[in-house]
Chain A
C-alpha cells in the first residue's frame, strides 16, 4: 500500500553499490591498518624512528628474498621462513601438548578435590605470573640441555590457563548432574566420560585457546636458549645480533600472523567440538 521507489533488496545490485553497502565491515579495519602503515612509512622516511619503513621490506634484498622464497633451503640455518616456522611449530606443539595433558589432568584433580586445590592454588597463582623469559635460566639449570629446556619454557608458559580453566569447569558442573550420577550410582569412569568431560569441555577449550597464543608467544624466549638451531625465534635473535633490522621486523610480523592463524584455528575447533550449551 505504501508507495515505494526503491528496488527490492537483492535484486541486481551493481558491484559498486554492493561495495558501498558492505563497506561498514571492511572499511574501518582497512583504514586503520593502512593509516598505521602510512604513518610508519612517513616516520621512518623522515628519520624520526630508526625502524626501516614497511616498503623497505620489499626493496631490501635480504627481506625480499625471505618474503618471496619461503621454501628456500641453502642448508644449515640458511632456510626460508616456512622451514623456520615449521621447526618452531613442532617445538611449540611438543610443549603445548605436554601442557594440555598435564594441565587437564591436574585441573580435573584440583577441580574435584577442594583440599588439593587449597594446598596448591597459591603456588599456581604465583607461578603463572612468572614471565616466559624468566623461566629460561631456570630451565637451563634444570635440564642442562637446550632442546628439553626450550620445550619446558613453552610448557610452563602454556599450562596455567589450561589448568585453571579446567579446574573451574569441573567445579562448575551443575549439582543436578552430580546428583544424577549419584542416584544412578555411576562408576567413576562413566561419570568421567559421560558427565565430567562434556560438562567441563567449554572451559577446557577456553583454556586451550588462551594457551595456544601463550605457547606461541613463548617461542622467542624458548629459542634464545637454543643458539644455532632452526626456528623463527632464533631467527629473530640472530638477526638482532647481526643487526639486520629488516629481518627482525619481518620476523615479528610473521610471528604475529602465525599466532593469529593458531588462535582462529582453536576458535574454529572450539565451535566444532564443544557441544552447544
Chain B
C-alpha cells in the first residue's frame, strides 16, 4: 500500500482538478494569519485549490489544523489575510445564502418549531415568493429528512439527530450553490450517523449543489466524497494531498466496502494522518 502514497505534497490527481483559471470555486494563494498575544499566528499558508460545480468535497486533518478556518473563508465568516477565494468569478467577502452553512452546534432557534426554523430561512432568502410556495418548500424539505411528523415540535423537544436533520433541511431549503458542513455528524451515534449520511447523499443527488464538508471520519469521507482534501498539521497548514474517490454513484455502503480500492484509499488516508502527519509531529 505504501506504493499508493504520493511523494509530492501537492499530489492532487490531475484528472479531477479543473483548470484553475475558471473553476467554479477556487482558493488562490490563500493564507490566514491571526494576530495573537505572542505575535502573528499563521493558520493556513498559501492554499491553492479548485473545486468543480456539483462536487462533493470532504476535508480531513488533525484538530486545530485550520479546517474550519478554511471553510469559513468560503462561507464568508473569515476573510483571507492574503490571497482570495473566488466563487463564480466573484471574490467572496461576506456571508450570503448562496453559501449556506450547517453549523457545528446546529444553530437552530430554540423558540421556534422545526417548521418555523426552516420557514424563517426560506422567508428571509426569498421574501417575494408567494406564501403558498414558501410553505411548500418548507414542507418538502422537512419531508426529505423524514421530519414531517416532528415538524411542529419545538427544537428543545428534538433529539440530536433530529436537530441535525432540521439544520440540513434548513440549509437545503434555500437552494444554496455551495453547502458547507462543519463536522455535521460528529456528535451522533453510529446508526443515526449512517442514516443521515445516506439522506444527505440522496438529497445531494437531486439538488447537485457543491458540498464542502469537514469530517474526522475516513469512512464517512470515502462513502460521501468525490475528493478528499487532507490537510497537514498547523501552524501554517497546507493541503497535503487531495485523494480521488472514484466509486460510482449512487453508492451503496456494502458494495464499496467490498471494493479492494476502498482499503487502498483508506490506508492511504490513515497513513497520511497517522504516519506522515501524526498529531505529535510539528509539520515541517
Residues of A within 8 A of B (CB): 174, 176-177, 179-180, 182-187, 190, 194-195, 198-199, 275-277
Contact = CB atoms under 8 A, between A and B. Distances in A.
A58 to B, nearest CB: 51
A183 B95 contact: yes
Interface string B98-117: 01110101110111100000
Contacts of B94: 182
B120 interface: yes
A122 B95 CA distance: 35
How many chain B residues sit at the interface, stated as a range, is 20 to 34
The A contact surface, by secondary structure, is: helix
B111 A183 contact: no
Contacts of A194: 109, 112, 120
Nearest to A174: B107
B137 interface: no
A172 to B, nearest CB: 14
Contact of A179 (B101, B120, B124, B156): B101
B5 interface: no
Contact of A182 (B77, B109, B120, B125): B77
Contacts of B97: 183-185
15 contacts: A176-B105, A176-B107, A179-B95, A182-B94, A182-B95, A183-B95, A183-B96, A183-B100, A183-B101, A185-B125, A186-B124, A190-B124, A198-B109, A275-B111, A276-B156
The B contact surface, by secondary structure, is: loop
B25 to A, nearest CB: 16
B128 to A, nearest CB: 13
B156 A180 contact: no
B103 A180 contact: yes
B77 to A, nearest CB: 6
Interface in B18-44: none
A217 to B, nearest CB: 32
Interface in B145-202: 156, 174
B155 to A, nearest CB: 10
B51 interface: no
A179 B174 CA distance: 16
A194 B100 CA distance: 19
Contacts of A179: 77, 95, 101, 103, 107
Contacts of A186: 124
Q: Which of B112, B120, B156 has the most CB of A within 10 A?
A: B120
A113 to B, nearest CB: 20
B75 interface: yes
Contacts of B111: 198-199, 275, 277
A185 B96 CA distance: 6
A198 B106 CA distance: 18
Given A179-B95, A183-B100, 11 more contacts: A174-B107, A176-B103, A177-B107, A179-B77, A179-B101, A179-B107, A180-B107, A182-B95, A183-B95, A194-B112, A194-B120
B121 A184 contact: yes
Contacts of B101: 179, 183
A185 B127 CA distance: 11
3 tightest Cβ-Cβ pairs between the two chains A and B: A176-B107, A198-B111, A184-B124
A241 to B, nearest CB: 52
A275 B111 CA distance: 6
A193 to B, nearest CB: 10
A178 to B, nearest CB: 9
B55 to A, nearest CB: 21
Contacts of A276: 156
B110 A275 contact: yes
A134 B112 CA distance: 45
Q: Which of B97, B107, B125 has the most CB of A within 10 A?
A: B107
Given A182-B77, A183-B101, A177 B96 contact: no
Nearest to A187: B124
Nearest to B99: A183
Contacts of B156: 276-277
A275 B174 CA distance: 27
Contacts of B109: 177, 180, 194-195, 198
A185 B95 contact: yes
Contacts of A190: 124
Contacts of B120: 184, 194
A176 B96 CA distance: 15
B103 A185 contact: no
A174 to B, nearest CB: 8
B77 A277 contact: no
A187 B126 CA distance: 12
Nearest to B94: A182
Contact of B75 (A183, A195, A199, A275): A183
Contacts of A182: 77, 94-95
Nearest to B77: A179
Contacts of B99: 183
Contacts of A277: 110-111, 156
A273 to B, nearest CB: 11
Contacts of B107: 174, 176-177, 179-180
Contacts of B103: 176, 179-180
